[in-house]
Amino acid sequence: MSGAKTKNAKTTDKVVKTEAEWRKELTPMQYAVLREKATERPFSGEYEYETRPGTYVCAGCGQTLFESDAKTTPRVEKSEAEWRKELTPMQYAVLREKATERPFTGEYEHDHRAGTYVCAGCGQTLFESDAKF
């Protein structure tokens, strides 16, 4: 995850570092997410089940990302049969079996329309299209 959990960390200036400095200061996963636009496997992040109160901050600059009370979303309870009926085979694999799509093969790979992308399972916003490109 690109965020780290600390208290009262905040900066407003753009951080300028060499790639060597970034690699030295960030974990391999943080570097991949922050510098190479990678993502974690679904449901695998170190903060997935974190419940302590606090502020999540960017590992690169310390800017506040969100408060822990904004992280919690209601759990969707459905049977596996209901999930299979509601989701496409790819959605089911990603959401229920923790699979990932092959890179550059998803149905939205070349979709450049403006909009909000949401989770197929719970409807929560994942990102805005302007953040995708």
CA distance 3 to 56: 6
- Residue 24 banded pLDDT, cuts 50, 70, 90: very high
Q: How confident is the model at residue 39 (pLDDT cuts 50, 70, 90)?
A: confident
**pLDDT value of residue 71:** 52
The model's pTM: 0.44
Contact between 106 and 80 under an 8 Å Cβ cutoff? The reply is no
Name the average pLDDT for the chain.
75
Please give the residue that has the higher pLDDT: either 28 or 116.
Answer: 28
Residues paired with 117 in a beta bridge: 127
Reported as half-sphere exposure (CB side, CA atoms, 13 A), residue 55 has a value of 12
**Cα-trace Rg, the chain:** 17
| pLDDT band for position 12 (cuts 50, 70, 90) | low
More confident residue, 20 or 113: 20
Structure token digits, residue 111? 């979709």
pLDDT in tens, 60-101: 888 887 777 765 555 677 888 988 898 888 888 888 887 777
pLDDT-based confidence at residue 9 (cuts at 50, 70, 90): very low
Cβ atoms of residues 99 and 93 within 8 Å = yes
Q: What is the pLDDT of residue 8?
A: 44
pLDDT exceeds 90 at position 20: yes
Question: What is the SS3 assignment for 86?
Answer: helix
Structure tokens at 115: 């909009």
Distance CA 7, CA 23 (A): 24
Percent of the chain residues topping a pLDDT of 90: 7
